[in-house]
Structure 1
């Protein structure tokens, strides 16, 4: 997993509440392998309903941050929604609140979710809408979001989630941190209880 430390990127304002995982990645695209490029399907149906969907506005090209409204990522526990955002270049989503399962999936795949007060997020969206293409800086070690005017806004994050993101640790990497202990356990079992080991005595 790619570590997340500091990100300075174009931020896209998306003033829509209750965006669910089916809007982020419609279910029919889950049949495709991720190698097909889930970023190609990000907000697929929503973008086709609007000729000026924010992600398609030229000024926001290459955006890495999404600033949206409350309850982002609600709905089904669809990890593909996180894949679509990450594959589409989004490394951070800022909102007043998130679907719990979505936020958990995000942290395990290198996508930072930043929760800020609703009025602060609304002000940030308005600022970005007034200056399309403006950048925002997210400093995870310092736990700050710096708006286009240079104002630093602090945010809270679970320490374990922060460590995993900063160090780029997914579930496999976390397990491998205990590789020595696992190997020692397997060696002990093979020596003391060989009948428990496949192919053993």
Structure 2
């Protein structure tokens, strides 16, 4: 039997509504031709001042949150531009999941394609999670992906739901191409039937065969 898919770790609160992808990953960190080195740019303008000095009171600069794996976010998390670098930066900084009331649409699907778990809870549930973690010494949450529930240190549980396709992608570590290729046999059957009944559509066949 496969091990249950559980994400467990410190949860850092960043309860900013409409936190856009430009703030998550500023433009000056988009100059590379690969995905590397993006952890440094994550939330840079919030983490550092104009002189490059760390803002001590910013949540991710505080010692208790420096190894956080889960981010508690505000409404419309990841809105703004479509830059996939925002997702890559979060992952490179060690984040495996975000819990928020809602997400920017493109960010949501970019996250699914890169196996970054996005959990959707009601605003009052986020506030309750934040209050429990802020008032206790244990800052960790446990997210049981297969059973779709968030568990707190005190034993409270917060159910959530994932679309079946996205859940399968997370559990099996697949992106959208990988999910599509699971149906490769059906795709091949469809393709063979299509070309057999409509050969004139094939531009790689000689003209006389397309007319036949």
Normalising TM by the smaller chain, what interval?
A: 0.7 to 0.9
Query: Per the alignment, do residues 15 and 181 of structure 1 end up closer, same or farther by CA in structure 2, a change over 3 Å counting?
Result: closer
1:120 equivalent among 112, 119, 125: 125
Contact 1:20–1:75 (8 Å) recurs in 2: yes
The equivalent of 2:69 in structure 1 is 64
- Alignment gaps of 5+ in structure 2: 50-54
The equivalent of 1:9 in structure 2 is 9
Give the structure, 1 or 2, with the largest relative contact order (CA under 8 Å, sep 6 or more).
Answer: 1
1:158 equivalent among 152, 163, 177: 163
SS of the residue 1:55 aligns to: helix
User: How far apart in 1 are the matches of 2:34 and 2:133?
Assistant: 31
Contact 2:115–2:173 (8 Å) recurs in 1: yes
User: How far apart in 1 are the matches of 2:44 and 2:97?
Assistant: 19
The equivalent of 1:21 in structure 2 is 21
**TM-score (normalised: structure 1):** 0.86
Could you give the per-residue CA deviations for residues 5-27 of structure 1, whole angstroms, max 9, x where no partner exists? 21111110112211100010002
Pairing of 1:1-201 with structure 2 (within 5 A): 5-49=5-49, 50-131=55-136, 134-183=139-188, 196=202
- Alignment gaps of 5+ in structure 1: none
| Structure exhibiting the larger radius of gyration computed from Cα positions | 2
Could you give the per-residue CA deviations for residues 155-186 of structure 1, whole angstroms, max 9, x where no partner exists? 12222211221121202212221333445567
**TM-score (normalised: structure 2):** 0.81
Corresponding pairs, count:
197
Contact 1:146–1:153 (8 Å) recurs in 2: yes
User: How far apart in 2 are the matches of 1:129 and 1:183?
Assistant: 54
User: How far apart in 1 are the matches of 2:192 and 2:109?
Assistant: 34
User: How far apart in 1 are the matches of 2:187 and 2:161?
Assistant: 34
User: How far apart in 1 are the matches of 2:46 and 2:68?
Assistant: 17
RMSD across aligned C-alpha pairs, in angstroms?
2.5
